[in-house]
Structure formats: structure tokens, C-alpha cells
Chain A
Amino acid sequence: MDLAFSKEEIAFREEVRAFFRDNVPPETRRKMVEGRHLSKDEMVAWWRILNKKGWGVSHWPKEYGGTGWSSVQQYIFNEELQMHPAPAPLAFGVSMVGPVIYTFGNEKQKQHYLPRIANVDDWWCQGFSEPGSGSDLASLKTKAERKGDKYIINGQKTWTTLAQHADMIFCLCRTDTSAKKQMGISFIVFSMKSKGVTVRPIETIDGGHEVNEVFFDDVEVPVENLIGEENKGWDYAKFLLGNERTGIARVGVSKERLRRIKELASKVEQNGKPVLEDQGFREKLAACEIELKALELTQLRVVADEGKHGKGKPNPASSVLKIKGSEIQQTTTELLMEVIGPFAAPYDEHGDDASNETMDWTAQIAPSYFNNRKVSIYGGSNEIQRNIITKAVLGL
């Protein structure tokens, strides 16, 4: 038993840290620190820098462009990226559809899509949730009817993150309406530029535009866009969601936010002294840091276990990471609200427009707090995570 990183791992951390320091565009970093939105161009530009370095799809198998890093190295990379902070590679491509394609796709699909994902030539979005299918995802209704060498797709997806930027969508569609819920679903990918695709923005409580409704009206998709086997899409979806959960603790994001809380709390005054010196505030901050330390170690235990015993099935303990990770992220945004106090009120009507900053960083604190309520809802709500623990760990 040894909690310390090895010399090699520490050297690796230094290398990663130095690369971010020298290569993340300063404007991108500033916007991340202040909780502002980034433009599509800013994100893509950074991801291409990362890809040029060979770190764009770092956790993929080497043959598809991955790095061959150990689980611990991968953990260090993610944490340093989050702490810098810099935008994480686009999850919909790199962490979700990519692994599905290289695991279940055919040779032609691998050769076509994988390099394009790595270089963000295609911006991917996720067509899973529907208005009537949230936590009960398998009840989805979007239909793909086979007509000759095409699927005709009709239906609606929702909560589609950054679909406004997307070139491609991976979509769960019902291909057999007679089969039981989970059985008749297929995993189909297609262009968002296809005729019959309509994207309608959803404005969220922070005033931002991240998520969308996506409508399919007789969208024609070539059958070769099916990934894996027809009617096996649910298995691929489960595989994908399992991959999603391991990175969801976002320890680095919370660490960076705690750093920022301390920085701001040492500047903002209350009763003639910095908020950071207020006993009550310090205790709340300490409580949050302790929870985060525990989470970090829980995360490392899962990572070390993966490294030692192979990834295999997703570790059900990752549900602990999702629950605690999201709670802590939410607590950090609450603490920022406390620091800023009455100055949280001014609302920047143009806050979502990355090219038009009319107010200073204080205007982003409240939206970030409102926006972070999502983290206990998405990626399998925390209640769904409790169901997973109940069944997979406790055997109830």
C-alpha cells in the first residue's frame, strides 16, 4: 500500500503541467477561470493543439491514436487539464462515440471516423434522451425504418448538448417496435446537415444556450451508418454510459474552483476583513476540501483497481464518484455565491455570447451556480446512481 505517486508519475505530471502552461491559449484559460462560455472556434483550436501533441484521444488504444498511458497517468492528465483549467476533449466524440466505434464498428467506420474525431473535424453530439425518456432511456420512441439501403428516421431528441455546433450525431433509434423495450434499439450515426434535421435551442436557467431539442423529420440515413448490429444498440449505450461515469468525479474541476474561491475570498471584504478570514466561511470551505480529498482518494482507488485488474466492467463504485463529485461541484459554486454576496445580482444579458463581454467576472458567478444544478441530473441522475449501488453493490 502506497499512496504516493512514483517518481515517473511525478515527472509525467510535470511534463503535462508544463505543456498546458505553454500551450493553452491564455484567453481560453481566462474564460475557463471566470466560468465564461467559449466559442466553438476557441474550443476546436485548443483541441487541435492537444491532438497535434498526440494527446487528443489519450485513453484510446494505441492502434487508434491513443497514448498507451497507464490508468494513473490518464488520471493525472485529466486532473491537470481540469486544474489548469482548459477544456476537456469533446466527450461526445472522444469518450462516447469513439470507443463505441473502435469496439463495435467495422473497419471502414473506424478508418473514416476515428481520425476525424481525434482532430475534431466532426463535432459530435449525443442523441439519447427524449422528452418522454429521461432516466427511463429504454422507453425511447425515435424510429428508424429500414427502406432498401436507407433508414428513414423520425422522432425527437432533447437535452442535446452543443448540438448547435454539431456536424454529426450518434443516435439511439427504435428499429424493431415489436421487441421488448431494450431489444429493438439500434445505434445509428448521421450528419446533422441531413435534410429533415432541425435544431431548436433550449435556454437554461442560467440564461445560457448549451442544450437543444433536435427534431428528425423523414431523415434519410444510409444503412452503413449503423454501428454494430441492428437491435443491439442498448448494449452499446450501456457500454458508453459506463465509460462516461469514470471521469465524472471531476476532482480537478473542484480543486481549481476551490483555488478560485480562496483567491476571491481573500479579496472580498466583510466586516472590514477578508471573507476568507471569517470562521464560519473557513469551516464550510474546510468541510468541502475534506470531502474532496476523500473523493480524490476514492477515485484513485478505482483508478488503481482498473490499472491492476483491467478495466473490464465499469466499477460500480464509480457511482460513488458521480454522486460525491456532483455534490462537491455544486458546493463549490455555492461557496462562490457566498463570497460574492450581493454582487451576484447583476445579470449579463450578453453573457452567453463569447465575443461580447460587457460585464466583469462577477456576473458569471450566479449563472455558474444555477448551471451546476445539472451535474446531479445528467450522466444518470444521482438517484439512478443510487439504484446502481443498490443493485450492483448491495445486492438489494
Chain B
Amino acid sequence: MDFDLSEEQRLLKESIDGLLTDSYDFDARKKYQKEKGGWSKAVWGKLAEQGLLGLPFAEADGGFGAGAVETMIVMEALGKALVLEPYLATVVIGGGFLRHGGSAEQKAAHIPGIIDGSKTFAFAQLEKNSRYDLADVSTTAKKKGGAYVIDGEKFVVLNGENADTLIVTARTKGSRHDKTGIGVFLVPANAKGVTRKGYPTQDGLHAADITFTGVEVGSDAAIGDPENGLPLIERVVDEARTAMCAEAVGAMDEALKTTVEYLKTRKQFGVPIGSFQTLQHRAADMFVALEQARSMSMFATMAADFEDAKERATAVAAAKVQIGKSGKFIGQQSIQLHGGIGMTQEAKIGHYFKRLTMIENTFGDTDYHLRRVAEGGLV
């Protein structure tokens, strides 16, 4: 048992922390937000230059063969700096599908573009009424000769507006809730029949609602088994949840630091407000919530290596519950302890609150995952 980072992992952490300290303060973030697409191509380029976009890919595919711990380190750093660039959508999710399900040809066609920063991805999964159920898929992919024709609507697709390639879940067989008959398809964003309606999200990121009308892709567009893609989807989404847990821990950590700093400097009644015990104890409770969340983020990260798929899924669900609870508490209390200034767009603290809130509602909220743990074998 060992909770320390290895030498390489420590260097990785230093390198990404250094990069973000230099190029990602709150003012810079505001600037990036106004760039076309809502994030900075220059920063993305720097991430590529430092090899961070290639971390999880096998060396044979041009990557570094890094594991879940490395992704945790990167996501935590991205969470601290409230990074807007599509690391989750592209490297974690897009890369995840290619790594776990991609054919040699698919890997060769797509991974180099991710690693060098020239291409980004988006995961078109959510539907109007599917909420958090990954098996609830109405979008269809009908076989037509050697091709598939995709029809359906997807919503709140993160980075959907900017992505070069969409990874689309679509039903090849069966009816809406069937666990089998779901396929995963690589669709060029500029394919005929793809309509994207982009918008900013509450936390300053960008997403799109996407309509697929008779979109034709070749049979080589299917990642893995087009009639049994759910296990692959579950695996990649679990990795995305785990990555988001780490991102949330980074955001919580920084939100608490910022809040404690504020308590030390803000004066009322002639003294720093941090001298008031009621505020001190609130901050102490935030620290407890943070440490519990950090432990569960590590647990989910380690679960990536669990042999048993059910155990792995339960661990991730349990982590998502803890992160959801801690994130809500730390987010809300950060605003409360900042008082009026916490309510302003100008103060950074509110942006942590918003990102934490959106993380809770992505890929299953606290109640959803609590139910999964309760219905499954429990922890």
C-alpha cells in the first residue's frame, strides 16, 4: 500500500501545474473563453507539446502508456485551474473509446491527431429522455448495404460545437431500453446530415445539441461490436466519471484554499472574519469533505485495475456519490463564506461552484449513483 506518487508522476504533476500557473490564471481564462469556440488553441498546443494529450495511449500508438493515476494527476490540475479545453471529451472519452474498442485502423486514423493537438472529439450520448441511463438509446443506426445510416437527436454534447469527430451511440437492434443492440460510431462532425447547435454551458464550457438526419457512415465507423457496445460505453464512461472525480477534487481543493485566504484577509468588526468560530468550523467541515472526496477519487482511480467489472463500477459509483456530496457542500459554503462578493461573476470562487455543480449532474448525479450502489452488492 502506497499513496505517494512515483518520481515520474511527481514530475508530471510539476509539469502540468507549472504550465497552468504560467498560462491559466483567472484573467487568462476569461480571455480564452472569448476565443472562437470558447477555449484556447494555444493552450491546447502547449498541452500537446508537453505530451499531455498522449499520456494514456499505448507507446505503439505514439503515446506514453500512462495509467489511471496519471490521468488523475492531470484532471486534478485542470480542475484547480478551471481549464476550459476539451481534455475530458477528447483524451479521456474519445481516447478511451479508441483505446478500449478501436481497431488498428481506427487507432492509426485518429490517435495521432489527438496526440498532436490537431483534432478534438465529442461524445454524443445524451438523449431527450435518457437522463443517466446509458442503455436508453433511441437514435438508430440502420444497416444499408455496407454502410450505417444514423438518425436521431443528441443533447448537451460537451465540445460538440468544436469537435472534429463525434462518437455517437446509436441503436442497431432492439428497442429503446434494451441493453444489447447499441453501437458506438465515429462520425465526422462535418458529415452530411449532421446539424450542430452550439451554446455555452453554465460553467463556461461549450456544448451542442446535435441532430443526425440520414447520416451515412461506413461499416468501419463502428467501434467494437456494433450490436453489443454497452460494456464498452460503460467502461469508458466509468473512466470519464473517475476523471471528473479528480477534476472535482482539484476544484474543491482550490475553492477551499481561496475561501480560507478570503477568511484571513476580509475584515469586519475590525478583525479578520476567519477569527469567528462559526466560520472556522464551516471551513473545517469543508476540509473534512475535501479529504473524504480525495480518498474516494483515489479509490475510483485504483479501481481501474480491478479485475471484476461489477466491483469496478460500484467503486466508481461510490466515488461519484462522495464527490457529489462533498462538491455540493464545498461549492455552496465557499459562496456563503465569501458573502456578497461570492455572488459576483467577477470573483473566481463562483466559477468553482458552477463547475462542481455541473460535474455532479454529468454521467449520473449523487442520487443516481447512490441507488446503483444500493441496488448492487453495496460497497
Binds A, one of B22-30, B150-158, B295-303: B295-303
How many chain-B residues does the 8 Å CB contact rule pick out? 41
Chain A residues within an 8 Å CB radius of B192: none
Residue pair B287, A320 in contact (C-beta under 8 Å): yes
29 CB-based A-B contacts, threshold 8 Å:
A1-B2, A1-B302, A2-B1, A2-B2, A2-B302, A3-B1, A9-B1, A286-B378, A287-B321, A289-B318, A290-B322, A294-B296, A294-B322, A297-B298, A298-B291, A301-B298, A304-B1, A304-B2, A304-B3, A320-B287, A320-B292, A383-B281, A386-B281, A386-B284, A387-B277, A389-B283, A394-B284, A396-B275, A396-B283
Residue pair B283, A1 in contact (C-beta under 8 Å): no
Which of A6, A304, A394 has its CB near the most chain B CB atoms (within 10 A)?
A394
Given contacts A282-B374, A297-B299, A298-B291, contact A6 B281 (CB under 8 A): no
Q: Report the minimum CB–CB distance from A395 to chain B (whole Å).
A: 7
Given contacts A283-B370, A387-B280, contact A1 B299 (CB under 8 A): no
With A289-B318, A293-B318, A385-B284 already in contact, 11 other A-B pairs whose C-beta atoms are closer than 8 Å: A286-B321, A286-B374, A287-B370, A290-B318, A293-B379, A294-B293, A297-B298, A320-B287, A390-B283, A396-B263, A396-B274
Give the residue name and chain of the A residue nearest to B302 (CB).
Answer: A3
Binds A, one of B4-12, B198-206, B222-230: B4-12
Q: Report the minimum CB–CB distance from B313 to chain A (whole Å).
A: 14
Residue pair B379, A290 in contact (C-beta under 8 Å): yes
B379 contact from A1, A286, A301, A323, Cβ within 8 A: A286
Given contacts A289-B373, A289-B378, A293-B296, contact A394 B260 (CB under 8 A): yes
Residue pair A1, B5 in contact (C-beta under 8 Å): yes
Give the residue name and chain of the B residue nearest to A284 (CB).
Answer: B374
Task: Decide yes or no whether B358 CB sits under 8 A from chain A.
Answer: no
Residue pair A286, B322 in contact (C-beta under 8 Å): no
Residue pair A291, B292 in contact (C-beta under 8 Å): yes
B248-291 vs A: 1/0 string, CB under 8 Å?
00000000000010011000000000110100110111011001
Q: Report the minimum CB–CB distance from B147 to chain A (whole Å).
A: 45
Residue pair A386, B373 in contact (C-beta under 8 Å): no
CA A295 – CA B318 in complex, angstroms?
A: 13
Task: Decide yes or no whether B232 CB sits under 8 A from chain A.
Answer: no
Q: Report the minimum CB–CB distance from A285 to chain B (whole Å).
A: 7
Residue pair A396, B264 in contact (C-beta under 8 Å): yes
Chain A residues within an 8 Å CB radius of B260: 394-396
Chain A residues within an 8 Å CB radius of B287: 320, 389, 393-394
4 tightest A-B contacts by CB? Answer: A297-B295, A386-B284, A286-B374, A282-B374
Q: Report the minimum CB–CB distance from B6 to chain A (whole Å).
A: 7
Given contacts A4-B1, A289-B373, A395-B260, contact A324 B281 (CB under 8 A): no
Task: Decide yes or no whether B69 CB sits under 8 A from chain A.
Answer: yes
Given contacts A291-B292, A386-B280, A393-B287, contact A1 B374 (CB under 8 A): no
Task: Decide yes or no whether A305 CB sits under 8 A from chain B.
Answer: yes
B291 contact from A2, A290, A291, A317, Cβ within 8 A: A317
Chain B residues within an 8 Å CB radius of A287: 321, 370
Residue pair A5, B288 in contact (C-beta under 8 Å): no
Residue pair A298, B295 in contact (C-beta under 8 Å): yes
Task: Decide yes or no whether A72 CB sits under 8 A from chain B.
Answer: yes
Chain B residues within an 8 Å CB radius of A297: 295-296, 298-299
Chain A residues within an 8 Å CB radius of B371: 279, 283
Give the residue name and chain of the B residue nearest to A279 (CB).
Answer: B374
Using CB atoms and an 8 Å cutoff, list the residues of chain A in contact with chain B: 1-6, 9, 72, 279, 282-283, 285-287, 289-295, 297-298, 300-301, 304-305, 308, 317, 319-320, 323-324, 383, 385-387, 389-390, 393-396
Chain A residues within an 8 Å CB radius of B69: 1
Given contacts A3-B302, A294-B322, A396-B263, contact A390 B284 (CB under 8 A): yes
Q: Which of B339-379 contact A (CB under 8 A)?
A: 370-371, 373-375, 378-379
B4 contact from A279, A308, A387, A394, Cβ within 8 A: A308
Using CB atoms and an 8 Å cutoff, list the residues of chain B in contact with chain A: 1-6, 9, 69, 260, 263-264, 274-275, 277, 280-281, 283-285, 287-288, 291-296, 298-299, 301-302, 318, 321-322, 370-371, 373-375, 378-379
Chain A residues within an 8 Å CB radius of B281: 383, 386-387, 390
Residue pair B284, A1 in contact (C-beta under 8 Å): no
Give the residue name and chain of the B residue nearest to A2 (CB).
Answer: B2
Chain A residues within an 8 Å CB radius of B379: 286, 289-290, 292-293
Given contacts A287-B321, A290-B318, contact A386 B374 (CB under 8 A): no
Give the residue name and chain of the B residue nearest to A327 (CB).
Answer: B288
Q: Report the minimum CB–CB distance from A141 to chain B (whole Å).
A: 25
CA A282 – CA B371 in complex, angstroms?
A: 8
Give the residue name and chain of the A residue nearest to B280 (CB).
Answer: A390
Give the residue name and chain of the A residue nearest to B283 (CB).
Answer: A394
CA A386 – CA B264 in complex, angstroms?
A: 17
Given contacts A286-B374, A298-B291, A396-B264, contact A3 B283 (CB under 8 A): no
Chain B residues within an 8 Å CB radius of A383: 281
Q: Report the minimum CB–CB distance from A122 to chain B (whole Å).
A: 36
Q: Report the minimum CB–CB distance from A182 to chain B (whole Å).
A: 21
Give the residue name and chain of the B residue nearest to A323 (CB).
Answer: B288
Chain A residues within an 8 Å CB radius of B288: 320, 323-324, 389
CA A320 – CA B293 in complex, angstroms?
A: 12
Q: Report the minimum CB–CB distance from B314 to chain A (whole Å).
A: 10
Residue pair B299, A285 in contact (C-beta under 8 Å): no
Chain B residues within an 8 Å CB radius of A396: 260, 263-264, 274-275, 280, 283
Which of A9, A287, A290 has its CB near the most chain B CB atoms (within 10 A)?
A290
